[in-house]
Homo-oligomer: A and B are copies of this chain.
Amino acid sequence: MNPFAVPEGSLFGPDNLPYGVFSTPGGPRRLGVAYGDHVLDVGAAARATGVAGELAGLLEAPALNPLLAAGRPAWRQARTAITGWLTEQEHRAAVAPSMIPRAEVRLHLPFEVADYVDFYASEHHASNLGRIFRPGSEPLTPNWKHLPIGYHGRSGTVVVSGTPVVRPCGQRKAPADPAPDYGPSRRLDIEAELGFVVGTPSPMGSRVALHDADRHVFGVCLVNDWSARDLQAWEYVPLGPFLGKSFATSVSPWVVPLDALAHARTEPPARDTEPLPYLDDRAAQPYGLDITLEVRLNGRLVSRPPFAAMYWTYAQMLAHMTVNGASLRTGDLFASGTISGPERDTRGALIELTWNGEDPLDLGDGTARAFLEDGDEVTITASAPGPAGARIGLGEVTGTIAPSH
């Protein structure tokens, strides 16, 4: 079989070229690029094509971090070289031995996560949660349209797609209970999100301007920010989510470069609140992204969250995150928060899809779900417009719930 033939319907064609880290049985971790049904070992390809110097060193690393740290000129150089290897006849013979069938590799966390920040950038999601938890009051808090709300998560529990998620234990207390009890979460949920991977660092005491976002952001991945709603509800006042989130955050194994998303750029939705100048993107290139997610629970499509509907863009999130002088490190991951659109079947979390469990989802197999049960498998996929009507894929992030020990 020709490893350079991209199968019909593949979302990993020559305009995508996402990076990941893979290994074959007994072998070390290597940097790879997805192409059709294959993975190109880019370090081996660099050697096979006689590429030397800094670029070769970046591609021969066992993680994406050295390439991330090298900055946008190196990202462009690498992308140009890899595009040539995969698409030009003169190079294909040299790199063919470095094309490994995807079914034969194991995929690992694609980068070492420095700090992990989770935002709350969907107006529909934040409004739905406001309506559920504070009925009768304004759904959005007064700060919501002035700044992209965010908080730090636990980077040590960011895991690659496929890692089982053990149902967390913790303190549970319904409002009517006199005291909390201890046990496995009964309200285990998902959050379908997009994650942004920081490449170029920034020094402490400086800020990254909104229009400099693309000098710092390398690309995107899919994120499932698993959430134990009962633990979270009891713990989160006044300092925010902690154990309700910190047990696991799953990411897709492929990081799609921003350079692959040029055709997905779109204007963000109209805003009705005047932004402070450091968040004002009206004179900038559009930082909205037309990426559509699909959420499957035990194989059944339950939602199609539209990233284009997000109120805050990644450039605004980055400008806000650094406006106080906080530094960026290579490998920082910031996620959008749950992506929800205006319709029910575009909501990115079960708590919204089932309206706090009151309206369970029919899975079509004779069962229904308010929240996740042990053994449930959740898979999130996504795609975006590519050139000439084609689409490019972000791959998938999947996880299965294992029972509490």
Contacts and interface: CB of A to CB of B under 8 A. Distances in A.
Interface in A261-311: 274, 276-278
A159 interface: yes
Nearest to A206: B405
A81 interface: no
A254 to B, nearest CB: 22
A103 interface: no
Interface in A158-206: 159, 166, 168-171, 173, 179-182, 204-206
B156 A324 contact: no
A146 interface: yes
A231 B325 CA distance: 13
Contact of A159 (B181, B182, B204): B204
Nearest to A164: B205
Interface in A110-128: 114-115, 117, 120
A332 interface: yes
A141 B240 CA distance: 13
Given A114-B155, A152-B242, A231-B324, 16 more contacts: A141-B237, A143-B237, A146-B173, A149-B239, A151-B240, A156-B332, A157-B327, A169-B324, A169-B325, A171-B276, A204-B248, A238-B240, A240-B240, A246-B326, A247-B326, A248-B325
Nearest to A130: B238
A150 B204 CA distance: 24
A318 to B, nearest CB: 13
Contacts of A239: 120, 149-151, 236, 240-241
* Chain A, interface residues (CB within 8 Å), range: 35 or more
B149 A152 contact: no
A188 to B, nearest CB: 11
B326 A157 contact: yes
A235 interface: yes
B325 A143 contact: no
Question: Which of A114, A120, A171 is packed against the most chain B CB atoms within 10 Å?
Answer: A171
Contacts of A228: 324
A231 B321 CA distance: 12
A150 B405 contact: no
Contacts of A152: 151-154, 242, 246
Contacts of A182: 276-278, 323
Contacts of A405: 205-206
Question: Which of A182, A246, A321 is packed against the most chain B CB atoms within 10 Å?
Answer: A246
A238 B324 CA distance: 20
Nearest to A179: B146
A78 interface: no
A4 interface: no
A155 B321 CA distance: 14
Contact of A326 (B114, B156, B323): B156
A382 to B, nearest CB: 24
A241 B243 contact: no
A63 to B, nearest CB: 16
Nearest to A129: B238
B115 A154 contact: yes
B235 A325 contact: no
A234 interface: yes
Contacts of A402: 205
A156 B114 contact: yes
